[in-house]
Chain A
Amino acid sequence: MPKAENKGLLIFFYLCIAVFSVICFAPFVLAVSGSLSTESRIAAEGYSFWPRGFSLETYQFLFGSKMEQIVRAYAVSLTVTVLGTVSAVLVTTAYAYVVSVKSFRFRNVFAFFAYFTMLFSGGTLPWYLLSTKYYHLDDKLIGLIAPYLLSVFLMFLMTNYFRSIPHEIVESAQIDGAGHFRIFVRIMLPLGRVGVVTISLFYALQYWNDFYLPLMLVTDERLYTIQYLMYTMMANIQFLASGNAAQVGGAIIAPPLETAKMAMTCLTVLPIAILYPFLQGFFVKGIVVGSVKG
Chain B
Amino acid sequence: MLRKKGWLGLLMTAVLLLGACSQGGGAATTGTNGSDSSSTDASGNEASGELAPAKLKIVLYGDESNRMKELAKTEFYDRIKQEINAEVEFQFLPWTEYAGGKTDLMLSTGEDFATYTDANYMVKSVAKGLYADLTPYAEATADLSQTVDEASFKAFQLGGKQYAIPVGNKPNSAEFYSVLIRQDLLEEVGMSEVTSLAQLEEYYDKVHAAHPELIGYAGVDARRMLLYDYTDRNLYWQNDFVALDEAAQDDQIINWFESEDFKNYAKLMRGWYEKGIIPKYAATNVPQLQSDWNSGKAMFWAGTAARPFEGAATISQAVPDAKLVNYFLGEGRPKISRGTYSTAFFVSSAAKDPERYVMFFNLLQKDQELYDLFAYGIQGTDYTLDENDRITRLTTDSLIPDWLLMNKNFMRFDNSVPDDFIADYKAWDDDAIISKGAGFNFDNTPVKNEETKLNGVLTEYLAPIGSGFVDYETGYPKALDRLKAAGIDKYIAEYQKQFSAWYAEQHQ
Nearest Cβ on chain B to A58's Cβ, whole angstroms = 13
User: B112 at interface (Cβ–Cβ under 8 A)?
Assistant: no
CB–CB B396/A219 < 8 A? no
Within 8 A of A (CB), among B12-26: 14-15, 17-19, 21-26
Of the stretches B90-98, B245-253, B450-458, the one at the interface is B90-98
CA–CA, A44 and B306, complex, Å: 26
B397 (CB) vs chain A CBs: closest residue: A65
CB–CB B318/A140 < 8 A? no
CB–CB B297/A43 < 8 A? yes
User: A221 at interface (Cβ–Cβ under 8 A)?
Assistant: yes
CB–CB B109/A244 < 8 A? no
> Which of A179, A242, A248, A257 has the largest number of chain B CB atoms within 10 A?
A248
Could you give, for residues 235-258 of chain A, a 1 whenever the CB lies within 8 Å of some chain B CB and a 0 otherwise? 110110111111111111110011
What A residues does B287 contact at CB under 8 A? 238, 241
Within 8 A of A (CB), among B400-421: 401-403, 406, 411-414, 417
Query: Tally of A-B residue pairs with Cβ under 8 A?
Result: 161
Nearest Cβ on chain B to A44's Cβ, whole angstroms = 6
What B residues does A133 contact at CB under 8 A? 109
Q: Is the interface of A mostly helix, strand, loop or mixed?
A: helix
CB–CB A179/B4 < 8 A? yes
For the complex, count residues of B whose C-beta is within 8 A of A: 69
CB–CB B109/A250 < 8 A? no
B95 (CB) vs chain A CBs: closest residue: A239
CA–CA, A203 and B141, complex, Å: 52
CB–CB A39/B402 < 8 A? no
User: B292 at interface (Cβ–Cβ under 8 A)?
Assistant: yes
CA–CA, A137 and B391, complex, Å: 45
User: B310 at interface (Cβ–Cβ under 8 A)?
Assistant: yes
A179 (CB) vs chain B CBs: closest residue: B4
User: A185 at interface (Cβ–Cβ under 8 A)?
Assistant: yes
CB–CB A247/B396 < 8 A? no
Nearest Cβ on chain B to A197's Cβ, whole angstroms = 18
CB–CB A250/B25 < 8 A? no
> Which of B26, B97, B292, B397 has the largest number of chain A CB atoms within 10 A?
B26
Given A236-B94, A246-B403, A248-B310, answer yes or no on A87-B21 (Cβ-Cβ < 8 Å).
no
* Other-chain residue from A39, A140, A241, A253 in contact with B25 (beta carbon distance below 8 A): A140
User: A114 at interface (Cβ–Cβ under 8 A)?
Assistant: no
What A residues does B75 contact at CB under 8 A? none
A237 (CB) vs chain B CBs: closest residue: B63
A142 (CB) vs chain B CBs: closest residue: B22
CB–CB B393/A142 < 8 A? no
In the assembled complex, 13 residue pairs joining A and B whose CB atoms fall closer than 8 Å, in A order, are: A66-B66, A86-B14, A90-B11, A94-B11, A133-B109, A236-B94, A239-B95, A245-B62, A245-B401, A246-B314, A249-B391, A250-B398, A251-B396
Please give the residue numbers on chain A whose beta carbons come within 8 Å of chain B beta carbons, in ascending order: 39-40, 43-44, 65-66, 83, 86-87, 90, 94, 124-125, 128-129, 132-133, 137, 139-143, 145-146, 179, 181-182, 185, 215-216, 219-223, 231-233, 235-236, 238-239, 241-254, 257-258
Please give the residue numbers on chain B whose beta carbons come within 8 Å of chain A beta carbons, in ascending order: 3-4, 7-8, 11, 14-15, 17-19, 21-26, 28-29, 61-66, 69, 91-92, 94-97, 102, 105, 108-109, 287, 290-292, 294-297, 306-307, 309-311, 313-314, 317-318, 375-376, 383, 391, 393, 396-398, 401-403, 406, 411-414, 417
